[in-house]
Chain A
Amino acid sequence: MEKNYTISIYTENSVGLLNRVSAIFQRRHINIISITSSVSEIEQVSRFVIVVRLTEAAVKKVVGQIEKQIEVIKAFYHTDEETIFQESALYKVASKSLFEERHIQNIIKESHANIVTVNTDFFVIEKTGFRHETEQLYNDLAPYGLLQFVRSGRISVTKDPMNIKALLTKFND
């Protein structure tokens, strides 16, 4: 059965590694739902968070291929239940609607979104949460006119420990 899996990849921070990792998905005709790259809890170690929809058998093989790459330290896959995950979204709205449409203020309040900036022309709202929450806010704001909308890829941490540091120290034992 296919479901969403979050693949977390700890890597060396090197040029071209994203290409090497994404090629593994491309070659198997797997669509990446979202991808995020950032620093990790360990200095000099990067972390990719990739969301894909696959069977467990398929995700296992993909993770095996990813781990095989020289500069990949370790890769994991997790179900939604095994992770804490969020996405961030930014909504840019014309300022006049904030003042003219009282309803907008209620939407913002009820959604627990933050106002990042306000000026005479536009204001920007930030909402971090689950996909359905950022989508709900999108649907609520859309009738008033969204000047711009953008959402980040999933970021996620696992409920279980990863122990990458220990792994790195004993890697070549």
Chain B
Amino acid sequence: MKIKKNISGSEALIHCLLEEGVDLIYGYPGGAIMPFYDELYKFQDKLQHVLTRHEQGATHAAQGFARVSGRVGVCVATSGPGATNLVTGIADAMIDSTPMVCLTGQVPSHLLGSDAFQETDIIGISTPVTKWNYQITNAAEIPEVMAKAFYIARSGRPGPVLIDVTKDAQFDTFDFSYKHCTGVRSYKPLPKIDVTAVDAAAAVLAKAKKPLIVWGQGVILGKAEEEFKNFVEKSNIPAAWTILGVSAIPTDHPQNVGMVGMHGNYGPNMLTNECDVLLAIGMRFDDRVTGSLDTYAKQAKVIHLEIDPAEINKNVDADVAVLGDVKSTLPLLAERVASKPYTEWYAAFKKHHDIEFEKVIKGDLHPTKDGLSMGEVLKEINRASNSDAVVVSDVGQHQMIACRYATFNHSKSNITSGGLGTMGFALPAAIGAKMGAPDREVVAIIGDGGFQMTIQELGTIFQTQAAVKVVVLNNDFLGMVRQWQQLFFDKRYASTEMVNPDFVKIAEGYFIDSKRVTSRKELGPAVDEMMASDKPYFLEVCVEKEHNVFPMIPSGASVSDIRLS
């Protein structure tokens, strides 16, 4: 590209963002990042900036944007507290493999290490929770470092990158030219595919009588939905999902046997310990999926399709490890498998589903008691959205209910904080999701606890008019912790009861259309009204206070010790 003579570091940062195809960033200004904001002012027509109400909100919004769009989310903050406020979102993006680039201002380089005003060692602080980070102290470094940042964030197993730019590097001028990064010599994002491993996997599958697929977010991150669906259909193997994997194929796919893990479905959890081959695709055997590793799928041969070599044998030993991008490995495996009917095996899933339906699902979705259940709210949202919505959930009981019962027709539709379990995630993430997929309906499902952790982002919704549908499932409790207290701590409800404000009034204070629902007859019409609105909408649903989420695998127990009540 043409050289831009004598431009400032700040202007260079903006050109880098534009070169990387960024047209929307989230952030919050402050002293050490002011030169950047000053340049941003001149580029408003090309680069939209969303002012969140807290830097944490900027990270979660960038995450929500990235998760629905598959693009890199970008957020900006100043030095010191601005930078430290990003840490939760960065850690969340790290553990959930979300591509994100965070730009932070830093004190001028001659003040580094002097305990200057708003100086903090954000490189040191963010090191364990970033895929890569770098401090720029010289403007001339900007193009190469920024190109590398985007390359690293989006390639291989994606993740967050933080770039800290000293104030003098933002002011200094240099001759700018940009070259996209195509490789870093010490970094191999895509492991070379070993076809003999694929052959070995196929040989194991050829003998399988009761195989089970467990797929994770790797399918979505790898943009391998088509390849995955083809493999699933060609092999006819029952397929279960992790909470970050759901929506990679439509919920109503006949081979979808449900969710694994702590609050997953009865069948896939129980049958994990009965399958003869466990085929893990783009998932990492999180402890919330496996329960006790000592009793996890010990009878099964494990095949692990995975992009990150460090995940192989980390938690569960693989009999066959197929390293590589699943977009490349799944077609190779599909070529080598034959369809089998697995009639009895599917019948086992059906049998378990019927038990779960009787003992759990019926009561959740079709309650006969007066109090509203969280499940019936999800059922109404599924109905009103035709399963086309993006569902953004926070963390806790409502999250498990949302992941269990939300139905999806499209990929990249379930946005939730999986690995980190960050309360406060959903409201800002929903803003980002709406901006990342403006043509789609975005519904945030949030508990009364998590809502109040980032409630100030209602201000961002008001200012941007992002047409997010915010549903707070209010049980006046930190419900999941309360559930554990009830089940495992003799009902000692230590600090879990919430005395809540009038949420509707708060939403009204931000001029957001809002409604509170307390009875079943109001619920359907209220959800319809919300979905019909083309503006932001806030719906509070007062649900039963002491409802428990089942099934449940108690922490540290075996997947086959799953409880239905």
Contacts and interface: CB of A to CB of B under 8 A. Distances in A.
Interface string A55-69: 000001100110110
A16 interface: yes
Given A12-B186, A61-B314, A70-B184, A23 B128 contact: yes
Interface stretch (B129-137, B240-248, B433-441, B477-485): B129-137
B184 A67 contact: no
Which 6 A-B residue pairings sit nearest by Cβ, starting from the closest? A64-B310, A172-B183, A73-B186, A70-B132, A23-B128, A68-B310
Interface in B473-530: none
A70 to B, nearest CB: 5
A23 B529 CA distance: 51
Contacts of A60: 313
A contact patch SS: mixed
B121 to A, nearest CB: 10
A150 interface: no
Interface of A: 11-12, 15-16, 19-20, 23, 27, 60-61, 64-65, 67-68, 70-73, 168, 171-173
Contacts of A70: 131-132, 152, 184, 186-187
B340 to A, nearest CB: 35
Contacts of B133: 16
Give the bracket for the number of chain B residues in contact with chain A: 20 to 34
A171 B314 contact: no
Nearest to B309: A64
Given A16-B124, A70-B184, A72-B186, 20 more contacts: A16-B127, A19-B124, A20-B127, A20-B128, A64-B309, A64-B314, A65-B310, A67-B309, A67-B310, A68-B308, A70-B131, A70-B132, A71-B187, A73-B185, A73-B186, A168-B185, A171-B186, A171-B188, A172-B183, A172-B185
Contacts of B208: none
Nearest to A21: B127
A11 B124 contact: no
Contacts of A67: 309-310
A15 B21 CA distance: 29
Nearest to A60: B313
Contact of A71 (B128, B183, B186): B186
Which of B152, B312, B314 gathers most chain A CB within 10 Å?
B314
Nearest to B314: A61
B127 A23 contact: yes
| Residue among A19, A60, A70, A168 with the highest chain B CB neighbour number at 10 A | A70
Contacts of A11: 186
Interface in B344-382: none
Nearest to B317: A57
B185 A16 contact: no
Contacts of A171: 185-186, 188
Interface in B99-146: 123-124, 127-128, 131-133, 135
11 contacts: A12-B185, A16-B133, A19-B127, A27-B128, A60-B313, A61-B314, A70-B184, A70-B186, A70-B187, A71-B187, A171-B188
A65 B123 CA distance: 19
Contacts of A16: 123-124, 127, 133, 135
Contacts of B312: 64
B198 to A, nearest CB: 19
Contacts of B187: 70-71
Q: Which of B127, B184, B312, B313 has the most A CB atoms < 10 Å from its CB?
A: B127
Interface in B131-179: 131-133, 135, 152
Nearest to B128: A23
Contacts of A172: 183, 185, 188
A169 B410 CA distance: 42
Nearest to A66: B310
A61 B313 CA distance: 8
Contacts of A23: 127-128
A144 B187 CA distance: 53
Interface in B181-201: 183-188, 192
Interface string B287-303: 00000000000000000
B313 to A, nearest CB: 7
A135 B309 CA distance: 40
A82 to B, nearest CB: 21
A6 to B, nearest CB: 20
Interface in B267-301: none
Contacts of A68: 308-310
A130 B260 CA distance: 52
A16 B130 CA distance: 13
Contacts of A20: 127-128
A73 B184 CA distance: 10
